[in-house]
Amino acid sequence: MPSWGRAFVVAIKVFLVGLIWAIIGQIIIWIGSSMLIAALIPELQHAQRPEEVLPYVGQMVAIMLPLLVVGAIITTIGVYATLIKYTVDEAVKECRSIQSQYPAYQPYQYTYPGPPAQVTEAKPIRVCPVCKSAVPEDAVFCPNCGAKLTGGAEETTGTGTHGHSKGI
């Protein structure tokens, strides 16, 4: 919400620019009135009777009336346009000041980790001949059942899953 000081500054700007529009409109109206008077004075001086002036008055009103209307329209539209312009400008400034206080919401952006790792074939692991559990390559005894391990071919036939052997 704008402060009272800013609101008064905007009001003064609207008033001053609106005054300029009113002056422009009044100048146009004055031009129209001057044209009417300038055209009527010579006719009024030469006229013997008032009926002789009436046709000229009609013509002058036809010229002056559009200028009066244009002047009034310029004044009205200019004042309203000024009011809207300065009000919107002030609203935009206020929105920008609020936006600078609170950074814009940054939605979560998913980062693609890349293609999945390639699956390789299971390497044969060492299997205990007694309990069929996987044992480390350098073990002398089975960590599960304690049986002594020998380096025979039947010990390396597992597929890498505990408790299951392949081909035994």
CA distance 134 to 149: 12
Query: Tokens standing for 123?
Result: 């390497």
- DSSP-derived 3-state class of residue 93: helix
Q: How confident is the model at residue 149 (pLDDT cuts 50, 70, 90)?
A: confident
Query: For 95-125, how does the pLDDT look when each residue is reduced to its tens digit (9 = 90+)?
Result: 877 777 766 655 566 677 777 777 666 666 7
Concatenating the DSSP letter of every residue in 23-87 gives HHHHHHHHHHHHHHHHHHHHHHHH-SSGGGTHHHHHHHHHHHHHHHHHHHHHHHHHHHHHHHHHH
Query: For 18-76, how does the pLDDT look when each residue is reduced to its tens digit (9 = 90+)?
Result: 889 889 888 888 887 787 777 777 767 776 776 776 777 777 777 778 888 888 898 88
The pLDDT, as a whole number, for residue 1 is 58
The pLDDT, as a whole number, for residue 152 is 53
Query: Tokens standing for 115?
Result: 């293609």
Percent of the chain exceeding pLDDT 70 equals: 75
The pLDDT, as a whole number, for residue 119 is 64
Quote the DSSP letter at residue 167. Answer: -
CA distance 83 to 73: 15
What would the mean pLDDT of 6-29 be, rounded to a whole number?
87
Which of 122, 126, 131 lies closest to 159 in space, CA to CA?
122
